[in-house]
Amino acid sequence: MRLLLQALVMVTGFLFLISCSKETPEQQPVVTVQVIPVQQTTLHHTITADAVLFALSQSAIVPKITAPVKAFHVKRGSRVHAGELLATLENKDLAAAAQDTKGAYEQAQANYEISTRAEVPAEMQKSELELKAARQTLDTQQTIYESRKNLFQQGALPRKEFEQAGIDLTQARNQYELAKQHLGALQGFAKQESLKSAAGQLESAKGRYLAAEADLSYSEIRSPINGVVTDRPLYPGEMASAGTPLLTVMDTSSVVARAHIAQPEAELLEIGDSATITVPGEEKAIPATISVVSPALDPNSTTVEIWAQAKNPGDRLKPGTAVQLSVLAKTIPDALVIPSASLLTAPDGTASVMVVGSDDRAHSHAVQVGIRQGDDVQIVEGLKAGEKIVGSGAYGLPDNTKVRVEGNKSED
C-alpha cells in the first residue's frame, strides 16, 4: 500500500511538471481610450500679451532758470492747451536786464543810421574837395614850371628858381596822388569797413537784447501740449530749480498699450492692424489699432515691443493700468485642428499623435504643428480631416496598442 501511494505521488508530480513546461499564450491588454476626429475649421490666430497703458504724449516741464515761483495759474487736474501760461517765476532782475539791453540795441541802431547816412557821405565829400584842390594846385604848379623852364632856357631866369619850380610841381603832384588814393579808399574799402563796423555793433547789441528777452521769457512756464496737469510738486514762493520738473502735463485723449511679444509673432503684425484692450473693471474690450512694431529686439528679453493706440473718452482709461492686449494676427481657413491634450511632444521637440486605425489599434504618427490658439493646435502635416486620434491618455501608450473606445461595451 505504501509503495502504491509513492507511485501515485510521483506520477502526479510528473504530470504537473509536464503541464508547467507547456507555454500558455499571454493575453494582450486592451486599453480604453477617448477617440476624437481631426477637425477642419477656420482658425483665428490671436496674439495675446500683458500690457501697460501710457498716455498718448507726456511732458515733464523743466524750467531753464532757477528762481522762486511767483504764481501758479493751474492746479492738478486742470485741462490746459498748448502755449497756455501755467506758472510765472520771479523775473524783476531779468526784466531790468532786458530793458537795459533794449536801450543799448536802440542806440546801436541809431549809430548805424548815422554811419550809413551821415558820417561816410560827409567824409567822402571832404575828400572830393581835397582832391579837387590838389588838382588845381597841381595844374598851377605845372603852368609855373613850364613858364620858368622857358625863361631859364632863354637865360632870363636863374637856375635856382627853375629848380624850385620843379620841386613845387613834384610836391603838388604827390599831394594830388594822396588825395586821389584817399578818395578811392573811402569809395571802396574804407566805406565798406565803416559800414561793417556799424553793422557789427548793431548785431552785437541785438544779440544781447534777444538773449535778455529770452531769459525773461523763461520765467513764464507754458504748456507745450494739450492735456491735463498730473503733477505740480511745488507751491508759490518755493524755489524752482533749472533741470527739475516743475509741472507734468499728459495728453490722455488717447492711451497707448505697450506690450512685448515673441519675434515670430511680431513678424505677423503690421501697423494699422486691429486690436482690443481688456481693462480690469471694464465689461467690454476697448478697440485699438497697432501704431508701433519695434524694428529691433529688446536686448534684455529678446522680445519685440508693440504699441496699440485707443481712444479714451471721458478719461476712463488711466495711464499705468495693467491690461491685456489681443491682436488678430492671421486667419487660416480650412485648418486641421486637434486638442492640445492629444499632442505628444518628445524631448527632442518632435510632435506626434496616436491615430486609431480600422484594426482598433493606436498607431503613432509624426505631425508638424502650426499655430496654437487656446486649447487648439493646428496640424500642418501628418493628419487628414476626419481621422480618429486618441483625445486623452495617449501619453505613455505604446505604439500598436489594442484599444477600446470609451463607451463601447463589446469585447475585442
What is the mean predicted confidence (pLDDT) over 318-334?
Answer: 89
Contact assessment for residue 397 and residue 364, using Cβ atoms and an 8 Å cutoff: no
What is the mean predicted confidence (pLDDT) over 30-36?
Answer: 82
Sign of CA dihedral 361, 362, 367, 369: positive
The angle formed by the CA atoms of residues 210, 214 and 215, to the nearest 5 degrees, is 120
What is the mean predicted confidence (pLDDT) over 209-217?
Answer: 82
Distance between CA atoms of 175 and 172, rounded to whole angstroms? 5
What is the mean predicted confidence (pLDDT) over 180-203?
Answer: 69
Q: How many CB atoms lie within 10 A of CB 137?
A: 18
Question: Which position has the higher pLDDT, 193 or 182?
Answer: 182
Question: Which position has the higher pLDDT, 281 or 257?
Answer: 257
Q: What confidence category does residue 6 fall into, taking pLDDT thresholds of 50, 70 and 90? A: very low
Looking at every residue in the chain, the average pLDDT score rounds to 82
Percent of residues, the chain, with pLDDT higher than 70: 85
Provide the whole-model pTM.
Answer: 0.56
- pLDDT tens-digit map of 67-118: 999 999 999 999 999 999 999 999 888 888 878 888 888 887 877 776 666 5
Contact assessment for residue 313 and residue 352, using Cβ atoms and an 8 Å cutoff: no
DSSP string, 213-275: HHHHHTTEEE-SSSEEEEE----TTSEEPTTS--EEEEEEEEEEEEEEE-HHHHTT--TT-EE
